[in-house]
């Protein structure tokens, strides 16, 4: 995947995390568990996607809110990784999350701490930082959880801002913020299965039902493209007059952390390089599969993505 011309890409992460990963022989109650040396990674949806874009040879401007000592460490890690970060300093301390790998069983335990409250002036500073980077033809990816203090309608305002500036807005958030973004209209919306079922208000046990939900978002103009991801079943994609499914190859599963972010990062980069939707989604599914192959909070590796891209298949629902 040679370096190629691309349109500007901006990611926005309002609730990043300093991710820690370690391991123990077995998780047991009451005992002192002696852990391995931890691995540290920048975390949060938009930052994970930005890391994937950089890993695949792309250029990205990553806007994120961060505060306290964990925020300082997050900034340091991003710099060490060569990522162009635009930190908005906040009063609260950036959250930490950690994952524990149980070596005897292969199970993984994930603990996600709550994020700091984001004040209205801090949110405005984040939006201003994004606005300064927007240009016609750019792609803006808004991804990850929303911190306390951010009203759902803020996502609608951000989506409208991107659209009015001539950018394509891709959204990978859940719940009420996703509804507000869709109300404003977005280029792409991505759901995993629990998020899609929450959005629909009912269980969606088969692909036809999931297809109907995402297809309705496209048909009524709330999204130009809608994607539903269901683990090993890959991604079901709806676009105007077009439905298809990308199936990932079978890989050795080590950790699911960051698979959805890897998918969105790869899709965003491919679209920025002018790829058509099918090829972009194929790259995204390959990146998600590659993320499953790496331990803890590590994301996909470029060589794995390139190999798995050739093994990812497309089908059209009957």
CA angle 59, 63, 67 (to 5 degrees): 135
- Provide the number of structural domains found in the chain: 1
Using the predicted structure, report yes or no on whether residue 241 has a pLDDT greater than 90. Answer: no
Per-residue pLDDT tens over the stretch 75-119: 999 999 889 899 999 999 999 998 898 999 988 898 988 889 999
Dihedral (Cα; 76, 80, 84, 85), 10-degree rounding: -20
Lowest model confidence (mean pLDDT) among 93-107, 122-136, 211-225, 252-266 = 252-266
- Number of Cβ atoms within 10 Å of the Cβ of 103: 12
Domain limits at 86? 9-315
Which are the catalytic amino acids?
261
For the record, the structure tokens of 292 come out as 């499953």
Q: Is residue 228 part of a domain?
A: yes
Per-residue pLDDT tens over the stretch 49-80: 999 999 999 999 999 999 999 999 999 999 99
Q: Which CATH number goes with the domain that contains 208?
A: 3.40.1190.20
Residues 257 and 264 sit within 8 Å (Cβ to Cβ): no
Distance (Å, rounded) from C-alpha 197 to C-alpha 139? Answer: 27
Q: In what order do the strands lie in the sheet with 39-43?
A: 39-43, 17-24, 95-102, 108-112
What SS3 class is residue 112?
A: strand
Using the predicted structure, report yes or no on whether residue 3 has a pLDDT greater than 80. Answer: no
Using the predicted structure, report yes or no on whether residue 6 has a pLDDT greater than 70. Answer: yes
Per-residue b or e along 40-71, where b marks 16 or more CB atoms closer than 10 Å to that residue's CB: bbbbbbbbbbbbbbbbbebebbbbbbbbbebb
Residue with the bigger pLDDT between 295 and 215: it is: 215
Q: Is residue 1 part of a domain?
A: no
Lowest model confidence (mean pLDDT) among 12-16, 272-276, 310-314 = 310-314
Q: What is the pLDDT of residue 272?
A: 98
Distance (Å, rounded) from C-alpha 265 to C-alpha 198? Answer: 24
Per-residue pLDDT tens over the stretch 269-309: 999 999 999 999 999 999 999 998 887 667 899 999 999 99
Q: Is residue 105 part of a domain?
A: yes
Q: What is the pTM of this model?
A: 0.94
Q: Is residue 4 part of a domain?
A: no
Q: Is residue 3 part of a domain?
A: no
């Amino acid at each position: 995947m040679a370096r190629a011309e691309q349109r500007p890409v901006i990611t926005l992460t309002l609730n990043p995390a300093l991710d820690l990963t370690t391991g123990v022989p077995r998780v047991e109650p009451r005992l002192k568990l002696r852990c391995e040396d931890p691995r540290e990674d920048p975390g949060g949806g938009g930052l994970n996607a930005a890391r994937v874009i950089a890993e695949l040879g792309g250029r990205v401007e990553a806007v994120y809110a961060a505060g306290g000592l964990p925020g300082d460490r997050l900034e340091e890690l991003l710099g060490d990784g060569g990522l162009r970060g635009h930190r908005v300093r906040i009063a609260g301390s950036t959250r930490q999350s950690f994952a524990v790998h149980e070596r005897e069983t292969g199970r993984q335990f994930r603990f996600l701490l709550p994020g700091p409250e984001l004040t209205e002036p801090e949110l405005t500073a984040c939006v201003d930082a994004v606005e300064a980077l927007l240009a016609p033809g750019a792609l803006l990816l808004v991804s990850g959880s929303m911190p306390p203090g951010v009203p759902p309608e803020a996502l609608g305002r951000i989506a409208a801002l991107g659209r009015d500036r001539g950018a394509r807005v891709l959204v990978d958030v859940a719940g009420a913020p996703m509804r507000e973004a869709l109300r404003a209209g977005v280029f792409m919306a991505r759901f995993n299965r629990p998020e899609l079922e929450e959005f629909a208000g009912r269980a969606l046990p088969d692909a036809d039902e999931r297809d109907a939900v995402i297809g309705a978002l496209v048909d009524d103009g709330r999204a130009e493209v809608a994607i539903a991801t269901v683990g090993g079943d890959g991604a079901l994609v709806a676009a105007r007059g077009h439905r298809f499914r990308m199936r990932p190859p079978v890989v050795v599963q080590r950790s699911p952390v960051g698979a959805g972010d890897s998918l969105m990062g790869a899709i965003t980069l491919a679209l920025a390089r002018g790829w058509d939707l099918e090829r972009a989604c194929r790259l995204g599914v390959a990146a998600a599969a590659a993320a499953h192959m790496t331990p803890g909070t590590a994301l996909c590796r470029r060589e794995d993505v390139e190999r798995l891209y050739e093994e990812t298949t497309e089908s059209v629902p009957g």
